[in-house]
Amino acid sequence: MKLIVSIVHSDDADTLIRALQEQGHRCTKISTTGGFLREGNATVLIGAEEAQVDAILETIRDNCHARRQLVSPLPPVAEAGELYIPRPVEVQIGGATVFVVNVERSAKF
């Protein structure tokens, strides 16, 4: 068995979950926060048999879209009297960051 950990944009999460459910997969959505942007995103956990993994990755690819976003970098430590004018930089986010990990054992009680 595999656990697919998929970090996606919050706006894509519900569409992705609907598509996964329609295909008979089970999943869990967790509200998470990106370490770099410190903004909300969503992490979708999917437990699945190995034979289903490729189809699930395709569904994630089809439902999660890359976006470009302007972010303001944190200001450097400035000397007294120095003026720092922050310049926003553009980063590309997603579509999805996915990790597929082996599940040693799973149980339901």
CA dihedral 28, 54, 98, 49 (to 10 degrees): 40
Q: Could you say which of 1, 30, 91, 103 contacts ligand 2BA (CB under 6 A)?
A: 91
Q: Could you say which of 34, 65, 98, 100 contacts ligand 2BA (CB under 6 A)?
A: 34
Q: Could you say which of 17, 20, 46, 93 contacts ligand 2BA (CB under 6 A)?
A: 93
CB of 107 to ligand 2BA, least distance (A): 26
Name the nearest CA neighbour of 28 among 11, 43, 49: 43
Look at residue 64 and give its three-state secondary structure.
coil
Give the tokens for residue 10: 């919050």
The answer to whether 97 contacts ligand 2BA (rule: CB under 6 A) is: yes
Q: How many helices (H) and strands (E) does the chain have?
A: 2, 6
Task: List contacts with ligand 2BA (CB under 6 A).
Answer: 7, 34-37, 41, 91-94, 97
